[in-house]
Amino acid sequence: MDPSAPDPDAETGTDHTIVPIRIEEALGAAAMALICLISFANVVARYATNVSFAFTEEYSVFLLVFMTFVGASAAFAANEHIRITFLVQRLPRPLQQLCGVISLLATTTLFSLIVYYGGRVTYAEWYWEETTPGLGNPSWIYTIWLPILCIAILGRVLGRGWARWRRGQVL
């Protein structure tokens, strides 16, 4: 393959998506805005009263993790996820296809395991009525988003793979 040829993976169109990426973008922007608002309010309160809000760290960490997984889902949907193409682009097309299939299988396996084990952790936290050390909230309220968002990522990954396969492109 000619290294100067356009990269088939560089295509970032989202015409195949059934669920609009705007959903992930809006959720990520809302999470970022809430982090900024909570942090700013905490700084102002600490400066003005010398007392810190107790809830800021717990909610900020949750929102940061939430934003990360929502961003990953959007990146997979738009085909803008991190990948190493330097060597793959120089392989013959059949080997590029093989690398794409291996990558798809590895990604699917990883996020499927996170769904499974994240679900188990969430269930255990719910069953044993675990609470967070800072605010005493039920822990499962935070951890349930891990398997839910990984299911969204899996949907995006498999949807992208299916669309590219149907068009005969390298996965």
Identify whether 53 is part of a domain: yes
Looking at this protein, which amino acid is placed at residue 40? F
Q: How many domains does the chain have?
A: 1
pLDDT by residue, tens only, the chain of 171 residues: 444 444 444 444 555 578 899 999 999 999 999 999 999 999 999 999 998 888 899 999 999 999 999 999 999 998 888 887 888 999 999 999 999 999 999 999 999 999 999 999 999 999 999 999 889 999 999 999 999 999 999 999 999 989 888 888 876
Measured CA distances, 138 to 69, 77, 132 (Å): 21, 32, 6
Identify whether 1 is part of a domain: no
User: How far from chain centre, in Å, is Cα 40?
Assistant: 25
Give the integer Cα–Cα distance in Å for 20 and 105.
24
Q: Which helix (H) or strand (E) holds 40?
A: helix 22-49
Identify whether 171 is part of a domain: no
Q: CB under 8 Å to 63, separation ≥6 — which residues?
A: 31, 32, 34, 35, 38
Give the integer Cα–Cα distance in Å for 159 and 22.
16
pTM of the model: 0.85
Q: Of the candidates 44, 34, 60, which has an alpha carbon nearest to the alpha carbon of residue 134?
A: 60
Segments forming the whole domain that contains residue 25: 8-166
Q: CB under 8 Å to 101, separation ≥6 — which residues?
A: 171
